[in-house]
Structure 1
């Protein structure tokens, strides 16, 4: 057996030097590098991030994917539908074979077709992803901008500014958002502000979601600002004569990017569900524009004869929301200073 006295002197000095080199390497890593190393170890978060990237690519490339693997999202294929029941025929050339339990899934229609009108489900799903991600992302940006600005103002200046903004947050948080959205979207005219049709409805949805959800992120930003403005680097900047604008934009705001980014990834799936709920209730995006919520609303009449029509858009919503939540949880753990490498 080798004893400590038998170890060569060079080996005895190698370990402390290696430890010191590792410590220097860890000290030289930035917060971004440390967070990325932590995030790479989180297999669940990485999986969610990969799915989110794929969903964004699918939404961005929806017209191209439709031209490759499907049909135009609003093209009717009545030859595939039984005129009596509205179900999808097993063989359009031989209606006597009855309905297809798989909803017309084939090499031409990768996810089958809708009952009654025969529109291609694959095309509807990818264009629905485009609609849902567009509304949710733009609404989240509006929410983040308003919440960040008002949260910083409340936390940094305090006093009557903090009181006024905090009470406004309480009012907005107590507001029945869903009922207000149903009432407002239901009475909007056909055209306003230079927009019409579904473009106007998308603008109204973005306004409702972004303007009335800002208190959630505003409270987080306010709490972080109250902590950051008492930190040593802020006091040092103030002692050197820095003004409020410099402190807010150069000292406090950069330290708020991480919590804002993490919360935004958790807010997007909530907004996706909100848009889907409004479309499901018939007060969101009007047909024939493809939306996942609208597809679910249409599918309820055919869940016994065409279950694929319910399952596919439901899975699209489920996978999207789950992926964003897992991705957001992974980012939160990666940027948590209490986490170990």
Structure 2
């Protein structure tokens, strides 16, 4: 009789299998998957780089302005030709000391004014967006989760705010509040008024998005499981629904910021935003149009116009990229 075969010598051990396969396969989180998708979108990455540079430039200009390195309100009458009322030199007075030229009315440095104007544009846009997101997310969550008469009441309130003439109200309120109010004065007052007007009346847009998402999520199994375990409504809203809403909230936030930048620039262009001599992109456009300097040299319109265009385009590209990266249905 033949001896039984000994299979112990030919059986692969777990250690040898792992060693032969090389590096162990690791799972990827949803954040890692979204980041990999975002890195493939070159336009979104370019927009993110521009946004980062804008923020860094605004912070750097804030520091430089505080130490006196930037002088956006310093007049240089010696740089203006008294005969023709134009900057001395070619291309709007461009020189090493003034890389973008000077203001044709009083010789103020355009680069300094653009950099300081970016502080106020980004500050007002970020503050108003934060106000809109906080109110909109809260109202949308409550309306979508509670339903019934409360949902109807919040929906009615949203319709009222959406039908409100925001631009006319902003012009009227900014015109009434001039010197001091609410313990504030000067630039602080004007910035606070703009943040309140833009942010408080724009919350229904994100509120409707959050409400629609909440109506879908509240019927999911994980919400029913939390209810079956005795979780209260506040816990479900904070720990179950809100984390699942972070992706659409983040995307809409990046898309709302450029809208608020344009709105602030429009108010400053109409003369009801930041008051001079505080530089703002919309105010610079208004000055170029009012004194007719754009006809002599289009640079005075192109410089603040390009600043607004690049900022809005960068945020829009980043927002579109985030929307595609965070959407699980996109392959």
TM-score of the pair, normalised by structure 1 = 0.87
RMSD after superposition: 1.9
Output aligned runs, 1:83-98, within 5 Å: 83-90=82-89
Q: Contact 2:62–2:119 (CA<8 Å) still a contact in 1? A: no
**Residue matched to 1:37:** 36
Output aligned runs, 1:49-68, within 5 Å: 49-65=48-64
Say if 2:109 is the partner of 1:117: no
**Residue matched to 2:312:** 321
**Residue matched to 1:233:** 222
How big is each residue's C-alpha offset from its partner over 1:187-235, in whole Å with a ceiling of 9 and x where there is no partner?
1141111101221111111111111000000000000111111111111
Where in structure 2 are there 5+ consecutive unaligned residues? 1-16
Where in structure 1 are there 5+ consecutive unaligned residues? 1-13, 91-99
Q: Contact 1:272–1:321 (CA<8 Å) still a contact in 2? A: yes
Report the alpha carbon displacement of residue 71 of structure 1 after superposing the two structures with TM: 4.1
Distance in 2, matches of 1:157 and 1:186, equals: 40
How big is each residue's C-alpha offset from its partner over 1:89-117, in whole Å with a ceiling of 9 and x where there is no partner?
11xxxxxxxxx2x1111111111111011
**Residue matched to 2:203:** 214
Q: Contact 1:115–1:306 (CA<8 Å) still a contact in 2? A: no
Change in CA separation of 1:283 and 1:320 when aligned onto 2, cut-off 3 Å: same
**Residue matched to 2:278:** 289
**Residue matched to 1:304:** 295
**Residue matched to 1:331:** 322
Distance in 2, matches of 1:121 and 1:282, equals: 19
SS at match of 1:304: helix
Q: How many residues align?
A: 310
**Residue matched to 2:246:** 257
Q: Contact 1:70–1:109 (CA<8 Å) still a contact in 2? A: no
Report the alpha carbon displacement of residue 69 of structure 1 after superposing the two structures with TM: 11
Report the alpha carbon displacement of residue 141 of structure 1 after superposing the two structures with TM: 0.2
How big is each residue's C-alpha offset from its partner over 1:10-61, in whole Å with a ceiling of 9 and x where there is no partner?
xxxx9xx98xx76xx4xx2111110000000000000000000000001111
**Residue matched to 1:82:** 81
**Residue matched to 1:165:** 154
